């Protein structure tokens, strides 16, 4: 194999170790990659903050582009095809991490509101890789999913997928759609004034898909009018210079890190690395499983006798993923200027602390019911 040069986003874990088996690796901040950086680069590996299109790639040596993310709306695939450049994404790489984020958010809100989750109806908008695993968490917590996914409805003919209007009486709405502007089912501004005005009063609204799917001004008005009981946002319009007043207003707000578990990131690296190996016609020699360090919280013990189930579950989840930490870090940016807020937003993502998934932790429960143990297992904790 002829020597190749790879440029990778510096925020991709183990990029140097993995792609270094294929050639020379250069690392760069994803927002600072320009065409000048790519003139002698063969393989480009990015994350969602890098716009990849013909203006970036024309006149360069790039032959392969990979994004170590599940979403690919930052890549103009038609431009790549026109330039004869191969493309690969890491579809579904961080789906379980996003689903665990949602479980952590809902449990946190339930404890704050001193309410239960069991029996609540959850409208899941977008039932792809992420949405399907969110549904698993919904069911594990004793809630009832109602699915909306028009492309899947047409593809399968199944009545499991309902029109979006049938989600309006749900207790929780959670969005996990890609961002699309045209076609049969554009998602840009899918959720706006009309949706919020008809949504069940007191519902919780959540978005961990793409910020542009939601009209944030309409969301703000729904919060101000008291039509929503809570808002949980991980994605925002105009990232990274997001809206400060909305950051201050939402109940849980985080800097686009729902999928940022170490497992999710390693999956992304591995999927693009394997695709690059196939493109180059070489056997992979780097393995993601061997790269992961031991979990920082291998086991926890919880005394559950006489305690509310939400309280116990929240203790287990928070021991592994303290979602309030991420919310507090972003909320401190609310009073900053848009430029300052954007810089901190990117820095929070770049310096994100290691987060492991629930299945890496064993939970020993004393005095808990079999149902509680079943829920912990449903969330993928290891319970003896």
Are the CB atoms for 318 and 104 separated by under 8 Å?
yes
Rounded distance, CA 318 to CA 325, Å? 10
Rounded distance, CA 57 to CA 112, Å? 49
Burial of 180 (0-12, 13-18, 19+ CB in 10 A): middle
Residues in CB range of 344: below 8 A, 6 or more apart: 332, 333, 336
- The CATH number fitting domain 95-259+306-378, selected from 3.40.50.620, 3.40.50.720, 1.20.1260.10, 3.40.50.2300: 3.40.50.720
Rounded distance, CA 86 to CA 65, Å? 6
**Per-state percent for the chain, helix, strand, coil, to nearest 5:** 40, 15, 40
Rounded distance, CA 263 to CA 279, Å? 24
Long-range contacts of residues 304-307, Cβ cutoff 8 Å, at least 24 apart: 304/365, 304/366, 304/367, 304/368, 304/369, 304/372, 305/366, 305/367, 305/368, 306/367
Question: 95-259+306-378: same fold as 4-89+262-291?
Answer: yes
**Helices within the chain (DSSP H only):** 15-19, 35-38, 54-57, 77-83, 95-113, 129-140, 150-156, 193-198, 216-224, 244-249, 262-280, 288-291, 309-320, 323-331, 338-350, 370-378
Pull the structure tokens for residue 222.
Answer: 């729904």
Map out the domains of the chain as residue ranges: 4-89+262-291, 95-259+306-378
At residue 1, the pLDDT reads 57
Going by C-alpha positions, the residue among 53, 64, 69, 58 that lies closest to residue 19 is 64
Are the CB atoms for 181 and 188 separated by under 8 Å?
yes
Half-sphere exposure at residue 217, Cβ-oriented, CA atoms within 13 angstroms: 1
Are the CB atoms for 221 and 60 separated by under 8 Å?
no
Are the CB atoms for 44 and 52 separated by under 8 Å?
yes
Average pLDDT, consecutive stretches of 10 residues, N- to C-terminus, the chain (384 residues) = 89 96 97 96 97 97 96 94 97 97 98 98 97 98 98 96 98 97 95 98 98 98 97 97 98 98 97 98 94 95 96 98 98 97 96 97 95 97 95
Residues in CB range of 291: below 8 A, 6 or more apart: 13, 14, 17, 18, 266
Pull the structure tokens for residue 99.
Answer: 């689903």
Q: Which residues are catalytic?
A: 210, 239, 256
Q: Give helix 323-331 / helix 95-113 axis angle, nearest 10°.
A: 80
- CATH superfamily entry for domain 4-89+262-291: NAD(P)-binding Rossmann-like Domain (3.40.50.720)
Rounded distance, CA 362 to CA 320, Å? 10
Q: What are phi and psi of 345, to 5 degrees?
A: -55, -50
Asked if the bond preceding 240 is cis, omega within 30° of 0, the reply is yes
């Amino acid at each position: 194999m002829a020597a190749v040069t790879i440029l990778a986003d510096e925020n991709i874990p183990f990029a140097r170790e993995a792609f270094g088996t294929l050639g020379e690796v250069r690392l760069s901040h994803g927002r600072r990659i320009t065409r000048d950086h790519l003139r002698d680069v063969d393989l480009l590996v990015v994350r969602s903050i890098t716009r990849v299109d013909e203006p970036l790639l024309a006149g360069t040596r790039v032959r392969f582009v990979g994004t170590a993310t599940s979403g690919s709306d930052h890549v103009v695939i038609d431009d790549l095809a026109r330039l004869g450049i191969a493309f690969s994404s890491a579809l579904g790489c961080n789906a379980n991490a996003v689903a665990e984020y949602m479980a952590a958010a809902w449990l946190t809100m339930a404890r704050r509101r001193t309410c239960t989750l069991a029996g609540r109806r959850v409208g899941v908008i977008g039932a792809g890789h992420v949405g399907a695993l969110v549904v698993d968490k919904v069911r594990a917590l004793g809630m009832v999913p109602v699915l909306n996914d028009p492309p899947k409805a047409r593809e399968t003919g199944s009545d499991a997928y309902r029109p979006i209007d049938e989600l309006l009486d749900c207790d929780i709405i959670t969005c996990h759609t890609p961002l699309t502007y045209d076609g049969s089912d554009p998602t840009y501004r899918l959720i706006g004034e009309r949706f919020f005005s008809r949504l069940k009063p007191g519902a919780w609204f959540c978005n961990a898909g793409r910020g542009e799917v939601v009209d944030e001004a309409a969301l703000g008005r729904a919060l101000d009018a008291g039509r929503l009981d809570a808002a949980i946002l991980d994605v925002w319009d105009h990232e990274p210079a997001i809206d400060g007043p909305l950051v201050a207003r939402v109940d849980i707000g985080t800097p686009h890190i729902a999928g940022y578990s170490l497992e999710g990131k390693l999956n992304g690296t591995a999927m693009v690395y394997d695709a690059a190996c196939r493109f180059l016609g070489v056997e992979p020699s780097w393995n993601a499983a061997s790269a992961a360090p031991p979990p920082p919280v291998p086991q926890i013990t919880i005394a559950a006798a006489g305690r509310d189930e939400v309280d116990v579950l929240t203790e287990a989840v928070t021991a592994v993923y303290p979602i309030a930490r991420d919310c507090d870090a972003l909320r401190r940016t609310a009073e900053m200027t848009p430029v300052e807020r954007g810089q901190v937003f990117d820095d929070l993502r770049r310096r994100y602390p290691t987060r492991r998934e629930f299945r890496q932790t064993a939970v020993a429960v004393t005095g808990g019911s079999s149902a509680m143990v079943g829920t912990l297992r449903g969330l993928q904790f290891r319970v003896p």
